[in-house]
Structure 1
Amino acid sequence: MSEAYSVITCPECGHNEREKMPTDACQWFYDCKGCSALLKPKSGDCCVYCSYGTNPCPPIQSGESCC
């Protein structure tokens, strides 16, 4: 799979950052580079990209279940 990117926006401070998403695993935690908040997926989401990103994680994009 090619590289996939998403812009994560922190719900605490509004900082956003373009990040390369892992293609073979979910990312359950993310440290905000603006305020250092530890982001976790919202209830029902599989990862921080599905909760706070502009693009869902690669498995969800390809129609697979995530982790």
Structure 2
Amino acid sequence: MRLESKLTCPACGFEAVETMPLDACQFFYLCKGCGKKLKPKAGDCCVFCSYGTVPCPPVQRDGKSACCS
């Protein structure tokens, strides 16, 4: 299981490598470049699944349909 993901802000393109929580989804993330509050895209459970290079641990472990259920 990979615990780090590089988030890319859709507003400014800023990239940051972040450590993901093991047992929860992260619903919000403040961009360290422009300060925009990122929220998951429709159908995604968290910001890592929407804007990251690696999906969150629950999705890695159980698949997208089991996340945050």
Q: Same fold (TM over 0.5)?
A: yes
1:5-26 CA distance string (max 9 Å, x none): 0000000000000000001111
Number of paired residues? 66
CA RMSD of aligned residues (A): 1.3
Give the TM-score of the pair, scaled to structure 2: 0.90
User: Which structure 1 segments of 5+ residues have no match?
Assistant: none
Q: Residues 3 and 23 of structure 1 are in contact (CA less than 8 Å); yes or no, is this contact kept in structure 2? A: no
Following superposition, the deviation at residue 66 of structure 1 comes to: 1.2
Match of 1:61 in 2: 60
The within-5 A match list for 1:5-44 is: 5-44=4-43
Which of the pair is proportionally richer in helix?
2
Structure 2: any 5+ residue segments left out of the alignment?
none
* Identity in percent: 61
- Taking the aligned partners of 1:47 and 1:3, their CA distance within structure 2 comes to 16
